[in-house]
Amino acid sequence: MNIIEIKNLKVHYPIRSGFWNRITDEVPAVDGISFNIRAGETYGLVGESGSGKSTTGKSVVGLEKVTSGSILYKGKDITKKENRRRLDYNRDVQMIFQDSLSSLNPRKRIEDIIAEPLRNFEHLSKEDEKLRVLQLLDIVGLDADALYKYPHQFSGGQRQRIGVARAVATHPKLIVADEPVSALDLSVQAQVLNFMKRIQRDFGISYLFISHDLGVVRHMCQNIAIMNRGRLVEIGTRDDIYNHPLHIYTKRLLAAIPETNVDQRAAHRASRLAVEQVYQDEQATYYDHDGKAFPLVAVSPTHSVALPEKLAQQLAQAETKREAQA
Amino acid sequence: MAENFNQHSDISAADLTRLSQEAKAEATPSTARIIWDEFKADKPALVALVVVVGFIAFVMIASLFIDTPKMMETNIMNYFDRPGTNGLWLGADSGGRSVAQQLIVGSRNSIGIAIGLTVISSTFGICWGLISGYYNGYVDWGMQRVYDFMMMLPMTMMIIVLVTIIPHYNAITLTLIFSIFYWEGTSRLIRSRTLAESEKDYVAASKTSGTSNLKIIFREIMPNISSLIIVDTTLSFAENIGVETGLSYLGFGLPTQTPSLGTMIANANDPNNITQYWWTWLPAALEIIILCLSISYIGQVIRRAADSSQRQGAAD
Ligand SMILES: Nc1ncnc2c1ncn2[C@@H]1O[C@H](COP(=O)(O)OP(=O)(O)OP(=O)(O)O)[C@@H](O)[C@H]1O
Ligand SMILES: [Mg+2]
> Does A262 lie in the same domain as A195?
no
Q: pLDDT-derived band of residue A168, with 50, 70 and 90 as boundaries?
A: very high
Q: Which of A60, A105, A166 is best to mutate for the B interface (most B CBs within 10 A)?
A: A105
Residue contact B204–A95, C-beta within 8 A: yes
* Own/partner long-range contacts of B157-164 (Cβ < 8 Å, ≥24 apart): B159/B247, B159/B252, B160/B247, B160/B250, B160/B252, B163/B247, B163/B252, B163/B253, B164/B252
> Does A176 lie in the same domain as A297?
no
**A139 Cα to chain B: minimum distance (Å):** 6
Q: What would the mean pLDDT of A70-74 be, rounded to a whole number?
A: 94
Q: pLDDT-derived band of residue B315, with 50, 70 and 90 as boundaries?
A: very low
Domain region containing A84: 2-221
- A54 C-alpha vs ligand 1 centroid, how far in Å? 7
- State pLDDT tens for residues B130-163: 999 999 788 888 999 999 998 888 888 888 888 8
The pLDDT of residue B29: 67
Q: Confirm or reject contact between B33 and chain A (CB < 8 A).
A: no
Cβ contacts below 8 Å, chain A against chain B, sum to 121
> Does A123 lie in the same domain as A262?
no
B83 Cβ contact list (under 8 Å, min separation 6): B89, B90, B91, B99, B279
Q: What would the mean pLDDT of A54-69 be, rounded to a whole number?
A: 94
The minimal CB distance from B200 to the residues A95, A102, A148 is found for: A102
Protein residue whose Cα sits closest to atom 5 of ligand 1? A13
- A23 Cβ closer than 6 Å to some ligand 1 atom: no
- A45 C-alpha vs ligand 1 centroid, how far in Å? 15
- A212 Cβ closer than 6 Å to some ligand 1 atom: yes
> Does A211 lie in the same domain as A138?
yes
- A211 Cβ closer than 6 Å to some ligand 1 atom: no
The pLDDT of residue B87: 66
Protein residue whose Cα sits closest to atom 13 of ligand 1? A29
ipTM of the complex: 0.89
Q: Give the C-alpha separation, B74 to B1, whole Å.
A: 82
Q: Give the ligand at the shortest distance from the Cα of A31.
A: 1
> Does A182 lie in the same domain as A106?
yes
The pLDDT of residue B28: 62
Q: Confirm or reject contact between B84 and chain A (CB < 8 A).
A: no
The pLDDT of residue B26: 66
Per the prediction, chain A carries an average pLDDT of 90
Higher pLDDT, B91 or B282: B282
Higher pLDDT, A285 or A94: A94
The pLDDT of residue A280: 85
Which three-class secondary structure string do you get for chain A?
A: CEEEEEEEEEEEEEEEECCCCEEEEEEEEEEEEEEEEECCCEEEEECCCCCCHHHHHHHHHCCCCCCEEEEEECCEECCCHHHHHHHCHHHHEEEECCCHHHHCCCCCCHHHHHHHHHHHHCCCCHHHHHHHHHHHHHHCCCCHHHCCCCHHHCCHHHHHHHHHHHHHCCCCCEEEEECCCCCCCHHHHHHHHHHHHHHHHHHCCEEEEEECCHHHHHHHCCEEEEEECCEEEEEEEHHHHHHCCCCHHHHHHHHCCCCCCHHHHHHHHHHHHHHHHHHHHHHHHHECCCCCECCEEECCCCCEEECCHHHHHHHHHHHHHHHHHC
Q: Say whether pLDDT at B3 is over 60.
A: no
Domain positions in chain B: 32-310
Q: Which atom of ligand 1 is nearest to the CA of A56?
A: 18
Q: Say whether pLDDT at B308 is over 50.
A: yes
In degrees, to the nearest 5, what angle opens at C-alpha B175 toward C-alphas B174 and B176? 90
Q: pLDDT-derived band of residue A92, with 50, 70 and 90 as boundaries?
A: very high
Query: Which residues of B are less than 8 Å from A103 in CB distance?
Result: 200-202, 204-205
The minimal CB distance from A102 to the residues B10, B20, B202 is found for: B202
> Does A149 lie in the same domain as A60?
yes
Query: Which residues of B are less than 8 Å from A120 in CB distance?
Result: 209-211
> Does A173 lie in the same domain as A31?
yes
Q: Confirm or reject contact between A148 and chain B (CB < 8 A).
A: yes
Last residue of a domain, one of A221, A253, A283: A221
Is A191 a member of any domain? yes
Q: Which of B8, B201, B213 is best to mutate for the A interface (most A CBs within 10 A)?
A: B201
Residue contact A135–B11, C-beta within 8 A: yes
Q: Which atom of ligand 1 is nearest to the CA of A210?
A: 22
Q: Which of B1, B4, B5, B211 is best to mutate for the A interface (most A CBs within 10 A)?
A: B5
Query: Which residues of B are less than 8 Å from A109 in CB distance?
Result: 27
Per the prediction, chain B carries an average pLDDT of 83
The pLDDT of residue A305: 92
The pLDDT of residue B167: 77
The pLDDT of residue A326: 74
Q: What would the mean pLDDT of B173-184 be, rounded to a whole number?
A: 88
Q: Give the ligand at the shortest distance from the Cα of A230.
A: 1
Last residue of a domain, one of A186, A221, A256: A221
Q: pLDDT-derived band of residue A110, with 50, 70 and 90 as boundaries?
A: very high
Q: Say whether pLDDT at A251 is over 80.
A: yes
The minimal CB distance from B211 to the residues A97, A103, A120 is found for: A120
- A14 Cβ closer than 6 Å to some ligand 1 atom: no
Q: Confirm or reject contact between A58 and chain B (CB < 8 A).
A: yes
> Does A102 lie in the same domain as A46?
yes
Last residue of a domain, one of A167, A195, A221: A221
Q: To test ligand 1's pocket by mutation, which of A27, A210, A213, A216 has the most ligand atoms within 8 angstroms of CB?
A: A27
Q: Say whether pLDDT at B179 is over 80.
A: yes
Is the Cβ–Cβ distance between A66 and A9 less than 8 Å? yes
**A1 Cα to chain B: minimum distance (Å):** 22
Q: What is the CATH number of the domain that holds A78?
A: 3.40.50.300
> Does A243 lie in the same domain as A118?
no
The pLDDT of residue B206: 96
Q: What is the pTM of this model?
A: 0.84
> Does A75 lie in the same domain as A162?
yes
Short-list B262, B69, B254, CA closest to B166 = B254
**B185 Cα to chain A: minimum distance (Å):** 21
> Does A194 lie in the same domain as A148?
yes
Closest residue of chain A to B23, computed from CA coordinates: A145
Q: Which among B81-90, B206-215, B289-298 has the top mean pLDDT? A: B206-215
- State pLDDT tens for residues A116-167: 999 999 989 998 999 999 999 998 889 888 888 889 889 988 999 999 999 9
Find the range with the poorest average confidence among A61-65, A177-181, A254-258.
A254-258
- State pLDDT tens for residues B5-62: 666 676 666 677 777 777 676 666 677 788 888 888 888 899 999 999 999 999 999 8
Higher pLDDT, A77 or A316: A77
Is A277 a member of any domain? yes
The minimal CB distance from A105 to the residues B16, B202, B210 is found for: B202
- Going by the DSSP 8-state scheme, the letter that residue B145 receives in this structure is H
- A51 C-alpha vs ligand 1 centroid, how far in Å? 7
- State pLDDT tens for residues B88-135: 677 777 777 788 888 888 899 889 999 999 999 999 999 999 999 999
Is A99 a member of any domain? yes
Q: Say whether pLDDT at A56 is over 70.
A: yes
- A165 C-alpha vs ligand 2 centroid, how far in Å? 21
The minimal CB distance from A107 to the residues B206, B209, B224 is found for: B224
> Does A253 lie in the same domain as A142?
no
The pLDDT of residue B252: 79
The pLDDT of residue B316: 43
Closest residue of chain B to A16, computed from CA coordinates: B137
| Domain range B32-310, CATH architecture | Orthogonal Bundle (1.10)
Domain count, chain A: 2
